[in-house]
A and B are shown apart, each in its own frame.
Chain A
Amino acid sequence: MTVANPPIPTSHHTCPACGLLCDDLPLDGLGSISASFSCAKSQRYFSQAATAPSQPASVNGQACDLNTALAAAAKILQNSQQTLFAGLGTDVQGMRAILPLAEKCQATLDHMHSESSVRNTLAMQNSGWQTTTLSEVKNRADLILAIGTDIVSSHPRFFEKLVWNKDSLFNKGTPHVVYLAVDEADTQAGVAPDGTSPTVLAADKKALPAILNSLIAMCNPAYAKSNKAASVAGLSMAALKALLEKIQAANYAVVVWSASELAYPHAELTVQSITQLIAKLNEQTRVAGLSLNSGDGDISVNQTSTWLSGFPIRNRFKHQQVSYDTQHYSTAVQLKSCDALLWVCTFNPKPPPNFAGPSIVIGHPNTQFERPPAVFIPVGVPAVHDSGTVFRMDGSIALQVKKLQASQHPRLFEVINQLAGLMP
């Protein structure tokens, strides 16, 4: 007779590897998560922190103590006339420390995933939107419409936790899944546990504005009479009509998109078409949007920046004022004119972009560089070496992440505060 392994108890530990912020991780009792845990993204997150070398701080590639590195960093910042703070892979506490330093340095701020998140922000600031959160999806959604995203590449447990869940408050059936502008090959996650296939409407993502605006127009009954087109972007009008009727018949349809998947110029207009379709449908029925985030603290940084500076990210401190410019304050534009770069990246070991001037990197201890930066200060990784507060993808929930193992790495906000203390 074999004795089964006892079940590994689930902890309350929060995983910041993606925007779902799962807090039901099984721990292995050794300061990491259990190897049997199904989420590859989470596994990678914890293992790349656990296997990080215990390298010290460095100046121009030469190991040194923290104070030497801080002094070198302070000197660079003091000599800078136009400083860019980029990356910003951090949590609420990190951002609380970074903003006062940015004010001292009169710096420009951008997050590494702003190129995506700005598409959402611009659409929201232009015409508003109607959205929902994860628990509403779990309990209410009876139709999931995924636009231009397979969802699981960025948010691996989305279907497991929010769509195929057996328990729901209102005893809804298993939701039907529709993919729009997603390749058939990427739709396996949408196959229900009972084998029901999702509906797939394959199309080029760049054709989404035409498709979405056709759907909006079709909400108007008069359109059906005047329309002469047989198809839009390769999709037949009959298929679009069937989709619209499916949404209208649902009790609570959820439309999911990922701004990072809409990587073409002026994709904010595509996001806006999605939100306008949702607004139009809500005149009669209930439909809500859910945008997938990119990670690395993008939501946390945007939220904290907004309540402390008045603006979401891509903002600048200058002349005792804060300004906001989603185009000119991008990392790509600023790298052409700034004379110093502070790159913060604590969740993942992502090195800074190529830059001719001096770079200060405060980040993941596993960061590998092609060319050593002027200053590198490794700091603790959130939820592994450091505690903090992180916002979930839906923006309404903030959860604490806790330290999982002892670490010699300093905490980001302490390093930033010390650096600010060295500035005049």
Chain B
Amino acid sequence: MITQLKNARVFDPAHKKNGVVEDIYISQGRIVAKPSDTIKISTSLDLSGKVVMAGAIDMHSHIGGGKTNIARMLLPEFQASKHYSEPEAHICTPGCSHFATPTSTETGFRYIEMGYTAAFEPALMPVNARQAHLEMCDTPMIDKGAYALLGNDDYFLRMLASQQDQKAINDYVAWILHSTQSIGIKVVNPGGINAFKFNQRRLDLDEKNRHYQVSPRQILQSLSRAVHELGVSKPLHVHCNNLGAAGNFQTTLDTMRASDGIPMHLTHIQFHSYGKEGDKQFSSAAAEIAEALNKNKHITADVGQILFGQTVTASGDSMMQHLNARHANPKKAVLMDIECDAGCGVVPFKYRDQNYVNALQWAIGLELFLSVEDPWRIFLTTDHPNGAPFTSYPHLIRLLMDKSFRNDAFAKLNLDAQAMSNLLSLEREYSLYDIAIMTRAGAAGLIGLKDRGHLGIGAAADITVYTDQADREAMFSKPDYVFKNGELVVKDGKVVKVVWGATHTSKPSFDVSVEKDLSDYFNKYQTMQLANFKINPDEIADDGRGSIVVHSGKHSDETA
């Protein structure tokens, strides 16, 4: 069975193809070379004039696990109004969805309908890994994966406080990747979630946890080194200290410096690019952050753009979400301390374009997108659902690609916020090639998905076909065709076949004797046994829908 996609206008940055017209061949779920003339082509689609890219990859989206489900449970009023399509803000379009808490099933459908074929849960709490995987296994159509949270767990902080060597830390980090079936490691407010349990209310980069006497800087350096030395492709995913606080850009710059040349990914950097200039003591520091990102080639970032309307913020950062709960809309928040592992804070937000801070947050995100020069090191996210639901990506893409659309939107914002932003002076418009880098090739490269995010021979046939339209929001909202592992699953923006994606993991080798001390720790201090903490691969494959893919890391001695 060979499927031929004829006359495709290919945007495949991994192979430097920028609108090259060529034919693509698919066999057994993979992209293959042009078969010999004797082999029969079973299906042929003429894609003349159509834009063809690999399936898009969302490298940061809260799609499964405790806090996502708490958000659903907390906000039944959103579920009831999910078919509501009237724009709530002056600059939003009806296509700019305000539906922040889709079910697991809907998450898969909404992603694939937009041409996304994979999404990664960025904050899997190890003790909650089973729930996260249960939800992701109930998410159809797309591939999944997760970054496991470390750095606020008492086990790790004890290791750091007792000055255990890097090798011991590395073994523990690798053990967590295996035990939680994750592909990367994330740290949220390094040390801060833990410090909040000791009643500390803020934690700066060099401020020490009251009990452990270790600083966020030490945590970051230890974890980023572990991830790097283990050869895990995905650099440490960092949610910096001081989320959302005016003046926090300094912490972000200091965090970049603390990386010490080791790759680090700073996530939803928009929420960490705030100055405190001006009458309202809240200003854009996007220029400073972008300049530092341009200079530090080992740092990558995703934006976490906010868009206007109702959403809900779901974060592991219980310390900062406790502060942010003052701004909750509707006025309610769920905050949790969880299992000597981490915590969570779920706070509904309504971003309004006439609110000074919200309007400036919107502008800061776009300033970052447009000022960071290298599209391979900046990624398109709304930190779903924190900045906006992922369904608003087509709207965001139009804002990046269409300067007049962007400037018209800017002109409707709170006037004081307009006065504090340089957005109008930024002329840049993203190209289709840039979009393909950010949402495909770059994302796959960052996570270490070697056979995704590109259209080369041997790649998985995750392919999205769009009609080239001047209205980029319309174009990216509704692809003509989406192929998942070579199967046609979406036609004219509608799902035509239900499939179940795989779960991507990374499993670097480690010294199994690490379990000796861990087992003792679990017996003494935790409330479940170590054997029950670990996620067995069978749990993901048990119903015949899920499967696990293990990615080799940067080291050649990687175990599969």
Q: Which residues on A are within 8 Å of B, measured CB to CB?
A: 12, 14, 20-21, 23-24, 92, 96, 121, 124-136, 138-140, 161-162, 167-170, 251-252, 282, 285-286, 288, 302-304, 306-312, 322-324, 389, 391, 395-400
Contacts and interface: CB of A to CB of B under 8 A. Distances in A.
Contact of B338 (A136, A310, A312): A136
B525 A169 contact: yes
B181 to A, nearest CB: 14
A252 B197 contact: yes
A325 B433 CA distance: 48
A306 B336 contact: no
B70 to A, nearest CB: 8
A127 B532 contact: no
B528 A389 contact: no
A399 B103 contact: no
A397 B528 contact: yes
Contacts of B101: 310
Of A23, A168, A285, the most chain B CB neighbours within 10 A belong to A23
Given A127-B331, A128-B333, A308-B103, A303 B529 contact: no
Interface of B: 64, 66, 68-70, 72-76, 79-80, 82, 101-106, 125, 127-128, 130-131, 134-135, 138, 154, 158, 196-199, 211, 322, 325, 328, 331-341, 346, 524-529, 531-532, 539
A392 B106 CA distance: 26
Given A23-B529, A135-B527, A167-B525, A396 B74 contact: no
B134 A397 contact: no
Of A127, A129, A130, A131, the most chain B CB neighbours within 10 A belong to A130
Q: Rank and list the top 7 A-B pairs by shortest CB-CB distance, nearest first.
A: A128-B332, A310-B79, A134-B527, A128-B333, A167-B524, A398-B130, A135-B339
B66 A396 contact: yes
Contacts of A124: 73-74, 332, 334
B66 A395 contact: yes
Contacts of A307: 64, 68-69, 72, 103-104, 134-135, 138
A308 B104 contact: yes
B137 to A, nearest CB: 9
Given A167-B525, A397-B527, A399-B130, 6 more contacts: A12-B532, A133-B339, A303-B131, A312-B73, A396-B127, A396-B338
Nearest to B336: A131
Given A124-B334, A139-B525, A14 B103 contact: no
A127 B76 CA distance: 13
Contacts of B154: 139, 169
A168 B525 contact: yes
A129 B529 contact: no
B127 A399 contact: no
B130 to A, nearest CB: 4
A130 B318 CA distance: 10
Contacts of B68: 307
Contacts of A130: 322, 334-336
A125 B332 contact: yes
A128 B104 contact: no
A395 B130 CA distance: 12
Given A124-B74, A251-B199, A169 B340 contact: yes
B528 A286 contact: no
Contacts of A127: 331-332
A132 to B, nearest CB: 5
Nearest to A121: B73
13 contacts: A125-B73, A128-B74, A130-B335, A130-B336, A131-B336, A132-B336, A133-B338, A135-B127, A167-B524, A307-B69, A310-B106, A396-B127, A396-B336
A306 B138 contact: no
Given A92-B134, A398-B131, A400-B539, A306 B338 contact: no
Contacts of B103: 307-310
A386 to B, nearest CB: 13
Contact of A308 (B125, B138, B525): B138
A313 to B, nearest CB: 10
Contact of B526 (A12, A92, A135, A303): A135
A14 B532 CA distance: 9
B69 A306 contact: yes
A135 B532 CA distance: 15
A324 B539 CA distance: 30
A23 to B, nearest CB: 5
A388 B384 CA distance: 31
A330 to B, nearest CB: 16
